[in-house]
Structure 1
C-alpha cells in the first residue's frame, strides 16, 4: 500500500511538471506580436525565430505615409499582446488605431528606444552644402531656405513682367500646398531609422527586451537570437561599406528624402530629393530646381521608388546625362521574413553601386 501511495505521488508530480510545461508553451504560442512595416517585421521575426512568428500590418508595396487599414488588420491590432512600430512620424495611419484598438497591448515605439540615433529632417529639394556633420546639416538647412527665398523673388519678378495672372495664381497655390506639406514633414527627426545598421542593432535589442518582458519563459532564446542577428548586421555593414567605397563621391538624387541614415553611415553624396514627402506632389519650381541641380552637379543617377509614380524621375532626368535607378527603403518587393532586412540593405547598396559606377 505504501508503495502504491508513493507511485501515486510520483505520478502527481510528473503531471504537475507536464502541466507547468504545457502552460509555459501555451503562453509562448498564445503571444500575439504585430509589426507595422516590413523592415521592422523582419527584425522582429529574426528575434522570434524558434518561438513564433510576428504578424505584419503593411504588406506588399503599400506606403506608411498614405496607407489605409483593412478590417482584418484592425482585428489583428485588437488581438495583439505586443505591437512594434517606428512611431507616429513614420506610420501615420497607425496613430489613431493604436489608441482605439490596441487595448492592453504593449506598444513599443522603436524610434524612442535606447541607443537609437535620430537625424533631423532636411529641407528637401537640393541639399545645399551636403555633408555628414551636424553643424553642416544646419548650414545646409539655412542654405536651402535662402535659395528658395531667392528663387521665389525671381519668380515674382517674372510674374510681374507679364506672366498670365490666372496661371500664376494656380502655380502659387500649388507651391503653397507643397509648402504646407513641407512644413508638416520637415520638422522633427527623420523616421527611416532602420537604414542605419547601428540603429538596426538597437532595434534588435529593444525587440528582445520587450519580448522577454512579455514572454519570460523564452527570454534566453530571444537574447541568443538578438546576439546572432547583431553579428549578422555587423557583417552586413562591413560588406556594404566595402562595396560602396568606389562610388561614395558620385552625386545622386532620390525620389524623397528617406535615405540620409544610410547616406551618412556609409558616407554617400546625395545631392537632393525630388519631393519633400511622397504624398505631396512637387510643384514646377521644385522640379525645375532639381533638374538644374542634376545638370550643375552632373549627377550620375536619379532614383525612383517602387511605391510611387516613376514619371517624376523621367521629368527630372529629361535633357540631362543622369541615369535612373530604383531604391526600395521598405523592401516592398522582397519576401517577408527574417532575411528581408538583409536583402533590403544589400539591394539598396547594389542599386546605388550599379547606377553610380557606370
Structure 2
C-alpha cells in the first residue's frame, strides 16, 4: 500500500507524530490543503434541494411525500385562510421569486396567483396546474342567488378537486413529473415515493368507504360548494348549500327556503367549514334542530388534520358519526 506523509508548512511536529496515511483515503482536496497551510478532510457536498412554492397545504403535503429530502416547500396558505379570498403577503412574493416550481390547483381557485407570479419576475419558474386532466363537476347555482350576485356558475368546473382521493392521485402524478423534470437525478426516487403514497391512499379510501357503508341516511346541507367531489366519491347527498358564491351573503329568501327544506325533509346534519364564519350554520341549526359538524377543506385547520390523509380520515369519520346520531 502506498502511504503519504507530509507536514503543514510552518508547523513544528516531532517525527514520531508522523503517521502513514493511505493515499486512497485522500482526494485532491488534501493536496490543496497542504499548499494552503490548512489540513482539512474532504467533504461531500449534496445538491441543494429543489425550491418549491405551492398555493395550498394539500399540495405541500403531496410534494413533500414525493420529494422527501430533495425538496424545500413553502405553502402560501397555512390552512386557516379562505383560498378564494386570500391576499398574498410580501413574503409570498419573495418565495415565488426564489422558487424553481410553483404548484397550483387552477380552475379559478387561486385568482390571485397569476399577478403574484407576474410581480415576482422569475422567468425560470415552472408553473404547474395540478388539476389538469381531472374530470370536473359543474357548480349549480339557484336562480335567485345568481340574479342577486350577477354571477354565473363556473364555466370550467368546481375547483375543490382534491377532496376526492382519486383526483389527488392525478395531482400527485403532476407533482412527480415536474420534480423529475427539474431534478432528473432523483427521478427514480420520486416515482418510488409516488407509488408508496398511492398505496396508502388506496388503502385509506377503501377503509373510509367501508365506514360509510353502515350509514343509511347521508343527506347534508353544506356551508359553501366545496364538497361535490367528496360527495360523489363517498356517496354523500348534498341537498342544499348556504353560500353559493365565495365572499357573498345568502339572501333572506334563500335562508328561509333552506330552513323549510331542512324541517320538511328532516335533514340531520349541516356541514360547516373551519375556514368560514360559523354564524349562519349555527343559526340554521337552532331554527331546525339539525346539528352542525365542522369539517375542513385544507390540512392543518383542525387538530388531527395535519396531512392530506389525516384530513380525509377526519372529515369522513366526523361526518359519519354526525349522520348516525339520532
Q: TM-score, normalised by structure 1?
A: 0.75
Give per-residue Cα distances to partners, 1:302-334, cap 9 Å, x unaligned. 111111111111222233131111111112425
Q: Distance in 1 between matches of 2:146 and 2:79?
A: 32
The change in CA–CA distance for 1:319 and 1:48 in structure 2 (over 3 A counts) is: same
The question of whether the paired residues in 2 share the 8 Å contact of 1:244 and 1:353 is answered with: yes
Report whether the alignment pairs 1:103 with 2:123: yes
Matched residue, 2:149 = 179
Q: Match of 1:40, SS?
A: helix
Matched residue, 2:139 = 121
Matched residue, 2:315 = 348
Q: Match of 1:318, SS?
A: helix
The change in CA–CA distance for 1:122 and 1:357 in structure 2 (over 3 A counts) is: same
Matched residue, 2:286 = 318
Matched residue, 1:282 = 250
Q: Match of 1:272, SS?
A: strand
* Number of equivalences: 295
Q: 2:183 aligns with which of 199, 215, 220?
A: 215
The change in CA–CA distance for 1:344 and 1:86 in structure 2 (over 3 A counts) is: same
Give the number of the structure whose alpha-carbon radius of gyration is greater: 2
How much does 1:278 deviate?
Answer: 3.0
Instruction: Point out which structure has higher relative CO (alpha carbons under 8 A, 6+ apart).
Output: 1
Report whether the alignment pairs 1:79 with 2:46: no
The change in CA–CA distance for 1:313 and 1:335 in structure 2 (over 3 A counts) is: closer
Q: Distance in 2 between matches of 1:83 and 1:176?
A: 33
Q: Match of 1:191, SS?
A: coil
Q: Distance in 2 between matches of 1:295 and 1:14?
A: 82
Matched residue, 2:15 = none
Q: 1:330 aligns with which of 293, 298, 308?
A: 298
The change in CA–CA distance for 1:11 and 1:340 in structure 2 (over 3 A counts) is: closer
The question of whether the paired residues in 1 share the 8 Å contact of 2:51 and 2:101 is answered with: yes
Q: Match of 2:240, SS?
A: strand
The change in CA–CA distance for 1:13 and 1:66 in structure 2 (over 3 A counts) is: same
Matched residue, 2:51 = 32
| Aligned alpha-carbon RMSD (Å) | 2.9
Moved >4 Å (runs of 4+): 10-15, 175-178, 334-337
Q: Distance in 1 between matches of 2:128 and 2:254?
A: 37
How much does 1:251 deviate?
Answer: 1.3
The change in CA–CA distance for 1:97 and 1:73 in structure 2 (over 3 A counts) is: same
Matched residue, 1:172 = none
Report whether the alignment pairs 1:225 with 2:193: yes
Matched residue, 2:202 = 234
| Higher helix proportion | 1
The change in CA–CA distance for 1:47 and 1:241 in structure 2 (over 3 A counts) is: same
The question of whether the paired residues in 2 share the 8 Å contact of 1:85 and 1:110 is answered with: yes
The change in CA–CA distance for 1:327 and 1:178 in structure 2 (over 3 A counts) is: farther
The question of whether the paired residues in 1 share the 8 Å contact of 2:107 and 2:131 is answered with: no
